[in-house]
Amino acid sequence: MRIAIAAVGRMKNGPERELVARYLERASGTGKPLALTGFDVFEMSESRAGSAASRKAEEAKAIRAALPDGLLVTLDERGKSITSDAFATQLGRWRDDGRAAIGFVIGGADGIDPDLVRQADLSISFSPMVWPHQLVRIMLAEQLYRATTILSGHPYHRGD
């Protein structure tokens, strides 16, 4: 199953970008034997439309165009809070069901278009707090790596 991340906003070169790359490289290495591949990041510029609703709609169109056809997961503070184990289990279930791809969406400053959130197969929250997209990208990359280690039985994850 191919995994992709669509993120509104571009990360500058620096420690945040390096950390995302490190986690996704690790996820790719541990994910390959599990038939989890890709771990690509597609960055898109924030819309310059006049209203927040218009910006979110334009960004949603760009997100859809960037992601492969498949499952859609949005990251939203109003989404479902799940454990790392549950996240890994869900990824494994989707893979075992023969799903070809999954796209994770990190919205811009205005959030994610409500229509895109409604279309999502899952909407998850890392916290009810709002986080900068750079930190969300780091957290998602780490959780993808953690999921591959959980699914492979690697000792990285030591949670209950």
Distance CA 60, CA 32 (A): 29
| Residue 132 assigned to a binding site | no
Q: Which residues pair with 124 in a beta bridge?
A: 80
| Residue 131 assigned to a binding site | yes
Burial class, 14, CB count within 10 angstroms (exposed 0-12 / middle 13-18 / buried 19+): exposed
Burial class, 145, CB count within 10 angstroms (exposed 0-12 / middle 13-18 / buried 19+): buried
Sequence letter at residue 90: Q
| Residue 94 assigned to a binding site | no
| Residue 24 assigned to a binding site | no
Distance CA 50, CA 54 (A): 7
| Residue 42 assigned to a binding site | no
> Residue 141: which residues within 8 A CB-CB, separation 6 or more?
5, 19, 20, 23, 24, 27
| Residue 126 assigned to a binding site | yes
| Residue 129 assigned to a binding site | yes
| Residue 75 assigned to a binding site | yes
Q: Residue ranges for the binding site for S-adenosyl-L-methionine?
A: 75, 107, 126-131
Residues in the annotated binding site: 75, 107, 126-131
